[in-house]
A and B are shown apart, each in its own frame.
Chain A
Amino acid sequence: MPEKCLIRTEKLCKSFSTGGVQQHVIKNLDAEIYEGDFTVIMGSSGAGKTTLLYALSGMDKASMGKVFFGDRNITGYNSDQLAIFRRKHCGFVFQQVYLMESMSVMDNVLTAGLLAGGNKRALIKRAKELFKQVGIEPGLWRKFPNQLSGGEAQRVAIVRAVINSPDVVFADEPTGALNSSASEAVLNILTGVNKNGQSILMVTHDMRSARRGNRVIYFKDGTICGELDLGPYVSGDKERHEKLRNFLKEMGW
Chain B
Amino acid sequence: MLIKLIRSYFRKDLSHMVTFVLIVILSSLMLQAGLCLLFGYDSHFSRLAEEVNAPDISIYTVVHDDEEGRSIINEIQRSLDNSGDVDCYETKCGYSVHVTYKRSEDSEDSKDYLESQTDVYVFREYGEEEIDRPVIIEKIDGNYERPLIVSYNFLEDTLYGRYGLGDTLLLEINGTDYYFTITGIYEALADQESIYTDEVTIVDMKENMAYLDYEIFVKTVPGADELETFKSLRSDFDHKNIHVGMSRLSILIKDSTYMIDIISAVLCIFAVIVALVVAVVIYFRLTNSIEQNIVNLGALKALGATGSQIRIAHILEFEITAGAGFMISTLFLYALLPRLEELLRVFTYSKWDCAFNPEAFLITGGFIMGVTLCVSFISTSGIKKIDPVQALRFGLKSHSFRKNPFPVETTGGPLTGILALKSAFGNKRQNVLVITIMAVVGLMISIAIFIGFNVGYKPMNLYKLLMNSSTELDLYFAREVDPADIMNIEGVDMVWAADDITIRYNGIGVYTEITDDWSKVPGDHVVEGRVPVYDNEIAVGKTMAENNDIRIGDVIEINYYDKDLPMVVTGFIQSTYNYGDAAIITTEAAGELGYKPYTEHLQVTVKNSDPELTKEIIGKLILMYGDEIYYFDRNELVSSGDDEIIMVGKIISVALVILAAAIVLLSMTLLVKTIIIKTQRELGIKKALGFTGRQLRTELCFSMMPNIVIGLVIGSVLGIINANNLLSAILSRLGITRSNLETAPWMAVMGILGGSVVSYVIIWFLSRRIKKISAYSLINE
Chain A positions near chain B (C-beta within 8 angstroms): 54, 59-60, 79-80, 83-88, 90, 92, 94, 96, 98-104, 106-107, 110-112, 114-116, 120, 124, 142, 144, 146-147, 160
Contacts and interface: CB of A to CB of B under 8 A. Distances in A.
Contacts of A144: 400-402, 404
Contact of A107 (B400, B404, B687): B404
A87 B690 contact: yes
A101 B401 contact: yes
Contact of B776 (A60, A104, A116): A60
Given A94-B779, A102-B422, A107-B404, A86 B690 contact: yes
B401 A79 contact: no
A94 to B, nearest CB: 7
Contacts of B688: 59, 86, 92, 94, 98
Interface in B623-643: none
A183 to B, nearest CB: 21
Contact of A146 (B397, B423, B695): B397
Given A80-B693, A80-B694, 18 more contacts: A60-B774, A60-B776, A79-B774, A83-B691, A86-B690, A87-B689, A87-B691, A92-B688, A94-B688, A102-B422, A103-B422, A104-B407, A107-B408, A107-B409, A110-B408, A115-B415, A115-B691, A142-B407
B685 interface: yes
A80 B401 contact: no
A101 B400 CA distance: 8
Question: Which residue, A102, A111, A146, has most C-beta atoms of chain B within 10 A?
Answer: A102
B681 interface: yes
A96 B780 CA distance: 10
A124 B409 contact: yes
Given A106-B409, A146-B400, A86 B779 contact: no
Nearest to A91: B689
Contact of A100 (B415, B686, B690): B686
Question: Which residue, A84, A101, A116, has most C-beta atoms of chain B within 10 A?
Answer: A101
B404 to A, nearest CB: 5
Contact of B408 (A60, A96, A106, A160): A106
Contacts of B686: 100, 111
Nearest to B415: A114
Contact of A114 (B400, B408, B694): B408
B228 interface: no
5 contacts: A59-B688, A60-B775, A80-B692, A111-B686, A144-B404
A100 B682 contact: yes
A142 B774 contact: no
B401 A92 contact: no
Interface string B411-429: 0000100010011001000
Nearest to B690: A87
Interface string B285-307: 00000000000000000000000
Q: Can you list the 5 inter-chain pairs with the closest CB atoms, starting with the nearest?
A: A87-B690, A86-B690, A80-B692, A107-B408, A60-B776
Interface in B168-227: none
Given A80-B694, A103-B404, A115-B690, A110 B409 contact: yes
A97 B693 CA distance: 22
A154 B42 CA distance: 73
Interface string B249-279: 0000000000000000000000000000000
Interface in B652-695: 679, 681-682, 684-695
Contacts of A101: 400-401, 681-682
B156 to A, nearest CB: 61
Contact of A79 (B422, B684, B689, B693): B693
B404 A83 contact: no
A98 B779 contact: yes
Contacts of B775: 59-60, 83
Contacts of B691: 83, 87, 115
A90 B422 CA distance: 26
B404 A54 contact: no
A84 B681 contact: no
A85 B771 CA distance: 17
Contacts of A107: 404, 407-409, 422
Contacts of B771: 79
B409 A88 contact: no
B429 to A, nearest CB: 15
Nearest to A96: B779
Contact of A142 (B404, B415, B679): B404
A204 to B, nearest CB: 18
Contacts of B694: 80
Contacts of A114: 408, 415
Nearest to B771: A79
Contacts of B404: 103-104, 107, 142, 144
Nearest to B684: A98
B408 A83 contact: no
A60 B419 CA distance: 25
Contacts of B426: 102
A151 B293 CA distance: 28
Contacts of B690: 83-88, 90, 112, 115-116
Contacts of A88: 690
Contacts of A87: 689-691
Contacts of A142: 404, 407
Interface in B419-447: 419, 422-423, 426
B451 to A, nearest CB: 43
B422 A115 contact: no
A106 B408 CA distance: 8
A121 to B, nearest CB: 10
Contacts of A111: 408, 415, 419, 686, 689
Contacts of B681: 98, 101
B572 to A, nearest CB: 59
A101 to B, nearest CB: 7
A96 B688 CA distance: 13
A111 to B, nearest CB: 6
B408 A92 contact: no
A84 B687 CA distance: 10
A115 B408 contact: no
B687 A83 contact: yes
Nearest to B394: A146
B401 to A, nearest CB: 5
A83 B407 contact: no
Nearest to B773: A79
B419 to A, nearest CB: 7
A86 B685 CA distance: 12
Given A103-B422, A115-B415, A54 B776 contact: yes
A98 B693 contact: no
A144 B409 CA distance: 14
A146 B771 CA distance: 28
A92 B682 contact: no
A242 B695 CA distance: 49
Interface string B392-405: 00000100111010
A101 B546 CA distance: 63
Given A79-B774, A115-B690, A100 B422 contact: no
Contact of A84 (B402, B408, B692, B774): B692
Nearest to A143: B404
Contacts of A106: 407-409
B406 to A, nearest CB: 9
B329 to A, nearest CB: 39
A169 to B, nearest CB: 13
A102 B406 CA distance: 12
A102 B689 contact: no
A102 B682 contact: yes
A90 B685 CA distance: 14
Nearest to A110: B408
A244 B682 CA distance: 37
Given A84-B690, A94-B779, A111-B415, A100 B408 contact: no
Nearest to A53: B776
A104 B423 CA distance: 13
A129 to B, nearest CB: 15
B608 to A, nearest CB: 55
